[in-house]
A and B are shown apart, each in its own frame.
Chain A
Amino acid sequence: MELLVERHHAAIGRLLWRFARSRADLDDLVQDTFLRMVRGLPNWRAQQPFAHWLLRIATNVGRDYFRRQSVRRRWQAEPARENEEQPAPDAIDPAADPAARAAANEVKTMLAQLAPDDRALLTLHHLEGWGLAQIAAQFGWTLTATKLRAWRARRQLRKLLHLSEPS
């Protein structure tokens, strides 16, 4: 088990960092992914590459995280920008490239205004550079549905970008 963690934690951490808003959240998401892996190991079939299977677990963990955030926001009935959408202070890591971190936080803040599944889709597409076919396969969607969802999400994002533009 330690070997599996050793081999895959970097890739999983990198992927989930695209979803997480803070370092604490990242730790939680990575832990959740590996715990789901442990629980799901009896169901893993050897025909499926292990890394792909684990990646699918991680993307679902990320999507669930977005859904939880969305539900929490709805219950709190607060505008998105006023609570969790501002990057947490510990999201700023002094060792990282500050410009890239600031850009990533800005992108995450914009994407956070979308519906959870749209947010997950565009997070993977924009920040991880995944193709729509790959995203469709990960989430178990059809390619047509994914294209349609991407088109709608992009349209929504474009509206938000225009709104946030200084007039």
Chain B
Amino acid sequence: MSGNAANPAAITPRARVKTALAHRQPDRQPVDFLATPEIWRRLQTHLEIPSQPLTDADFFDPAWELVQRHFQVDCRVISYDQFCRPPERILRPGARIDWWNALSRSTPNRMWRQELPDGTSMDIWGHVIRIVHNPTGAYEEYAEWPLAAATSVDDLKRHPWPEPDWWDFTPLRTLMAQLDAHEEYHLRFRIGSVFELSWQLRGMQEFLMDLVNQPEIPQYIMERLTDVYVENTRRVLDLASDRLDMVYFYDDVATQQNLMISARMWRRLIKPLHQRIIDVAKARGIPVMYHCDGALSPLIPELIEMGVDVLNPVQADAAGMDPQRLKDEFGDRLSFHGGIDIIKTLPRGAVADVQAEVTERIRVLGRNGGYIMASSHHIQSDTPLENIFAMYDMKLRQLNQGVHDE
């Protein structure tokens, strides 16, 4: 039975998040959840949620959805890579389509790739991915960088670039209805990265050197990707701007200490492309969330000007990313998503450390709303489950009850 049916007066998760993002104190702290597949599976086992056979007709794993419901997670993500439907011609001989085995899956959502007869996989962009097993577990590595050999823009043009028609969003409303049937969640549409995926197609070292020596190469790659993202987002919002609450995109341009590239270079080559994605959402009045790991504080004022409403993930240990400072300086114009440290606190802290950090973040970042509590990246596989239960303890979500500045 749905929570709303049981208590019609109760605030929905969607309303809770929207209140927080309007910089007002919601009834309780809204939360989100991201984890590696190992954590999802361990939680599923621990919570005794049975697995269901997944088919090509499923858009998300219902067992993992039940994990989110257990933690009363307020947000749901609908991702563009759930809707891939590339033409048959891009399938290599003997390939079979897989939706569920990607190790990079961090949500219940499916992700398209083709599994090749030699055991490798290929994503829609043309990366060949190899799963490698070693005594400490399994990981994926890129076995081929499809654009590594290009020496000119003409070479780049010969790549089988995905077209917007390689995504079919027709099932979008059905998928949203499936989620809404239980409870009205805050729904965001996730689209890809510009800089990050581009260097992953070219090879990072080569790509970074290109930025200095032959910027037309990175520029062409990044524009091709942006064209797809912009058109996909436009199509999705045509179908569902009345129900989607946010557009989300990600692009790591920082390290732990500083920006990865100069602000000058970012302004020249990356900012205009990010702006194009933001503008599609803003034209429909849809808020935008942006993810960038690390120390990106020099860019925050410009990101706000560009139209970013929510910043993820707030890595408190990165240079210049102290939560109190961020809240004081930008908290009236910018909301935050994330904040709970996955490097130290969650995997290696005691339950009391987790409680203390969650408390601190909610008190600082969640004051007068403006915060969605979540981990600072996917919760990693070596995290004790008790720490995850401590992080999502309902008591902590009530911390700011009755705390008002006015």
- Physical interaction between A and B: no
Q: Which residues of B contact A (CB under 8 A)?
A: none
Q: Which residues of A contact B (CB under 8 A)?
A: none
